[in-house]
Amino acid sequence: MERSVGSRLQTLFQQLEKIGGKQARNQTSTEDLQTIRYVTSKIHQILNSQEKTHRDTVLKNSGWVDLILATLKNTSDRTVLLNSIQILAEMLGKTREFYLGESRHKISFTKQ
């Protein structure tokens, strides 16, 4: 794996973990929410645009998977929810459509 992508993922997950503690205690500011949106978007972008080894790296780090699940559990923000669901779907390497509210979103759930 490229060191730059691996270290970028590590930095993003560290940012998410730092803010995640505030989020669990309902102390998330607007700035924190914007950061969570950015971080989850970037993680999804990396996993979506990189090769399978990067997805496997995230899957092997159970702390990162737990962090995405905790983010999904502790947020009510639609953008963060979608980003988190898409990250999990990308890690599974599959595609499928789902509905969140009245909007339809496509997520990958095809076997690779």
Q: How far apart are CA 62 and CA 81, in angstroms?
A: 20
The pLDDT of residue 74 is 87
pLDDT exceeds 80 at position 34: yes
Q: From residue 40, how far is each of 36, 68, 72 by CA, in Å?
A: 6, 9, 10
- What contacts 33, CB < 8 A, 6 or more positions away? 77, 80
The pLDDT of residue 62 is 78
pLDDT higher at 57 or 90: 90
Q: What SS3 state is found at 110?
A: coil
Kindly indicate the confidence band of residue 25, based on its pLDDT and cuts at 50, 70 and 90.
low
Share of the chain above pLDDT 70, in %: 71
How far from chain centre, in Å, is Cα 5? Answer: 15
